[in-house]
């Protein structure tokens, strides 16, 4: 191995280590003291509940672990958005579990909490996946109620989704394991089956203090909306559990008896590990986002037996397309080639050099046709993003880059097979869109710690913003020295670099997770397993396009 490989390896393994440390901190939720208080009440934490519920020694993935990171500092923060979401297996059946974390502001709903819950429901709806709610929440976080309550994508959308999922035949099970108040009280009752834990679980539209203030009635919370009340008097809940584990065991029993699902029929054979060492990814991926490398070397360390059947290998070479298997599942891969290549495309001179990571007309044309082929053959699509955008300049514009780019965006938008996106490195501008960014409905989208998501790179953006800011200062009569200009540039770049971080994106759920590159195969495999629950219901149609 050369010195650059070793430098890259050290850098990327440090990024992976940093990811591991960040996740460890997030898993503490509201902190060790609050976890201890939670245990003193005889309750398991959200993560303990999920760990107990999911089948032992099976794979699981966490959605939105970094939701809310760095946000709401003036309110004390909201680790993981105050809710834990995992896709895993219960009694051998894949499902998605949503558990309020009562160690974070008593499980209250921040704006990002609502967004994360809606994302979980979106995954359940798209994949017809059973969803289990473990409820322990004080309801809407009142100081921010205007950002969570009334809009289309706010709190109320969750109950609308409950009704829609029920009509679609998607299994929903809710266990009330703590507070369940106000509008939130509708969630368990709109589920197929609802459990409540004796003495610790409670459901009511208004608690005892509010009842006293509103109508003058004096009553305690247990009598008002405890397990005995709702299991024996109101009939609101279906089962009374003696403690958390009893409730979770009852959910396991319900899941154990659910019938099989109609399958989409994606092709799967026996899984094989990559023939090339996956750990070498750390040395292949450059330390700097501007450096060139061969994306094929990454692909060969992600796919079964390192076998890849490349499609149109000599044409449109800044995008790699081809067929492979990941954990046995047949996939079509669309990946940005990051090394400089010699183009042989019809719209460029035979010997013309093309920059890696840039989408040219021939690359977009190839990708469009390949995406159509995968839809024709019912093969899930995997996008590996390391894209700086579409090629610009008079030559590209005259050659119809906008038209060719639009065809690719059209194909991605109208694709009916499930799509999965991994942000390996750069994810800039319209390249993010064409390579199936969040706006284009990937079933799952995850980023490596090396990822950057933004309109353009930090350097480019800082230079543009610096020009604007210095022009404004000069208009005010200020003299801009070289030192002042450098100071402004560094300040602007620092601010921009924070915003292009994969953690900034994950905090806002622009991606579902930041993952170790070695987890990529698991994410894609579990994603296709989930998608296999939802047969394709409409034909692939590109609509009107310019040829």
Cα three-residue angle 119-122-127, rounded to 5 degrees:
130
pLDDT in tens, 162-175: 999 999 999 999 99
Query: Which pLDDT band holds residue 343 (cuts at 50, 70, 90)?
Result: low
Q: At residue 409, does pLDDT exceed 80? A: yes
Give φ, ψ of 416 to 5 degrees. -105, -15
For a pLDDT cut of 90, what percent of the chain falls above it?
Answer: 71
pLDDT at residue number 1: 59
Query: Which pLDDT band holds residue 148 (cuts at 50, 70, 90)?
Result: confident
Q: Quick one: average pLDDT of 420-435?
A: 95
Indicate the pairing of strand 444-447 with strand 513-514.
parallel
Averaged pLDDT score across all residues of the chain: 92
Residue 378's region, left for phi above 0, alpha for psi from -120 to 50, else beta, is: left
pLDDT at residue number 355: 82
Tokens of 311: 């499609």
Whether the Cβ atoms of residue 157 and residue 29 lie closer than 8 Å to each other: no
| Four-way CATH pick for 1-28+264-451+511-546: 3.40.50.11540, 3.40.50.460, 3.30.300.30, 3.90.226.10 | 3.90.226.10
| Helix residue ranges, H only, 218-349 | 221-225, 227-228, 244-256, 281-284, 295-299
Ranges of CATH 3.90.226.10 domains, the chain: 1-28+264-451+511-546, 31-256
Among candidate residues 238, 218, 241, 221, the one with its CA nearest the CA of residue 230: 238
pLDDT in tens, 502-547: 999 999 999 999 999 999 999 999 999 999 999 999 999 988 777 6
Among candidate residues 444, 521, 522, the one with its CA nearest the CA of residue 127: 444
Among candidate residues 534, 444, 502, 361, the one with its CA nearest the CA of residue 15: 502
| Four-way CATH pick for 31-256: 3.40.50.300, 3.40.50.720, 3.90.226.10, 3.40.50.10310 | 3.90.226.10
Query: Which pLDDT band holds residue 312 (cuts at 50, 70, 90)?
Result: very high
Q: At residue 127, does pLDDT exceed 80? A: yes
Indicate the pairing of strand 93-100 with strand 202-204.
unpaired
pLDDT in tens, 266-284: 999 999 999 999 999 999 9
Q: At residue 457, does pLDDT exceed 80? A: no
Separation between Cα atoms, residue 411 and residue 372, nearest integer Å: 7
132 vs 491, more confident: 132
Whether the Cβ atoms of residue 469 and residue 445 lie closer than 8 Å to each other: no
Give me the long-range contacts of 140-148 (CB less than 8 A, separation at least 24).
140/108, 140/109, 140/182, 140/183, 140/184, 141/75, 141/105, 141/108, 141/109, 141/110, 141/113, 143/75, 144/72, 144/75, 144/110, 144/111, 147/111, 148/109, 148/110, 148/111, 148/113, 148/114
Which residues contact residue 53 at a Cβ distance below 8 angstroms, ignoring those fewer than 6 apart?
90, 97, 132, 134, 248, 251, 252
pLDDT at residue number 329: 98
Tell me the DSSP string of 149-204: SSSTTSTTHHHHHHHHHHHHT--EEEEEEEEEEGGGGHHHHTSSEEEEETTT-EEE
Tokens of 42: 């005889």
How much is the pTM? 0.93
- In a 3-state reduction of DSSP, which class is residue 276? coil
| Range name among 57-71, 118-132, 316-330, 444-458 with the lowest pLDDT average | 444-458
Query: Which pLDDT band holds residue 183 (cuts at 50, 70, 90)?
Result: low
Q: At residue 57, does pLDDT exceed 70? A: yes
Q: Quick one: average pLDDT of 331-353?
A: 76
Separation between Cα atoms, residue 336 and residue 285, nearest integer Å: 13
pLDDT at residue number 477: 82
Tell me the DSSP string of 330-341: EEEEEEE--S-E
């Amino acid at each position: 191995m050369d010195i650059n490989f070793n430098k890259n390896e050290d850098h990327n393994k440090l990024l992976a280590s940093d990811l591991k440390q960040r996740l460890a901190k997030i898993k503490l939720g509201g902190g060790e003291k609050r976890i201890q208080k939670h245990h003193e009440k005889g309750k398991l934490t959200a993560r303990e509940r999920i760990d107990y519920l999911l089948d032992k020694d099976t794979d699981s993935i966490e959605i939105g672990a970094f939701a809310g990171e760095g946000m709401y500092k003036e309110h004390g923060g909201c680790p993981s958005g105050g809710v834990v979401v995992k896709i895993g297996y219960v009694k051998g059946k894949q499902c998605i579990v949503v558990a309020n974390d009562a160690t974070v502001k008593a499980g209250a709903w921040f704006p990002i909490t609502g967004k994360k819950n809606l994302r979980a429901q979106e995954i359940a709806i798209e994949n017809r996946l059973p969803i289990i709610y473990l409820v322990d929440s004080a309801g809407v976080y009142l100081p921010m109620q205007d950002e969570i309550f009334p809009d289309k994508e706010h709190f109320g959308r969750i109950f609308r989704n409950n009704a829609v999922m029920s009509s679609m035949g998607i299994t929903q099970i809710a266990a009330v394991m703590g507070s369940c108040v106000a509008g939130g009280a509708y969630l368990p009752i709109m589920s197929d089956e609802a459990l409540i834990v004796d003495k610790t679980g409670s459901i009511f539209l208004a608690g005892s203090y509010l009842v006293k203030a509103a109508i003058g009635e004096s009553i305690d919370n247990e009598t008002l909306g405890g397990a005995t009340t709702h299991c024996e008097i109101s009939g609101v809940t279906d089962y009374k559990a003696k403690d958390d584990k009893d409730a979770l065991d009852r959910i396991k029993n319900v899941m154990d008896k659910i019938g099989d699902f109609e399958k989409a029929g994606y092709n799967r054979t026996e899984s094989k590990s990559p023939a090339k060492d996956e750990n070498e990814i750390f040395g292949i991926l450059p330390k700097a986002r501007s450096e060139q490398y061969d994306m094929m070397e990454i692909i060969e360390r992600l796919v079964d037996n390192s076998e890849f059947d490349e499609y149109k290998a000599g044409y449109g070479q800044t995008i790699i397309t081809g067929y492979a298997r990941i954990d046995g599942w047949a996939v079509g891969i669309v990946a940005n080639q990051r090394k400089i290549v010699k183009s042989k495309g019809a719209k460029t001179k035979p010997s013309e050099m093309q920059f890696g990571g840039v989408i040219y007309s021939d690359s977009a044309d190839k990708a469009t046709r390949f995406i159509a082929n995968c839809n024709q053959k019912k093969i899930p699509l995997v996008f590996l993003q390391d894209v700086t955008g579409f090629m610009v300049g008079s030559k590209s514009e005259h050659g119809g880059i906008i038209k060719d780019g639009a065809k690719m965006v059209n194909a991605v938008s109208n694709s009916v097979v499930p799509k999965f996106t991994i942000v390996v490195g750069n994810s800039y501008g319209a390249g993010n869109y064409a390579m199936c960014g969040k706006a284009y409905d990937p079933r799952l989208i995850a980023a490596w710690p090396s990822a950057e998501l933004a309109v353009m790179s930090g350097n480019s953006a800082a230079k543009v913003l610096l020009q604007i800011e210095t022009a404004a200062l000069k208009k005010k009569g200020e003299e801009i020295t070289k030192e002042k200009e450098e100071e402004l540039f560094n300040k602007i770049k620092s601010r921009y670099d924070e915003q292009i971080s994969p953690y900034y994106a994950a905090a806002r759920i622009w991606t579902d997770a930041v993952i170790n590159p070695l987890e990529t195969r698991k994410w894609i495999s579990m994603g296709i397993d989930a998608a296999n629950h939802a047969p394709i219901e409409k034909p692939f149609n590109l609509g009107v396009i310019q040829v």
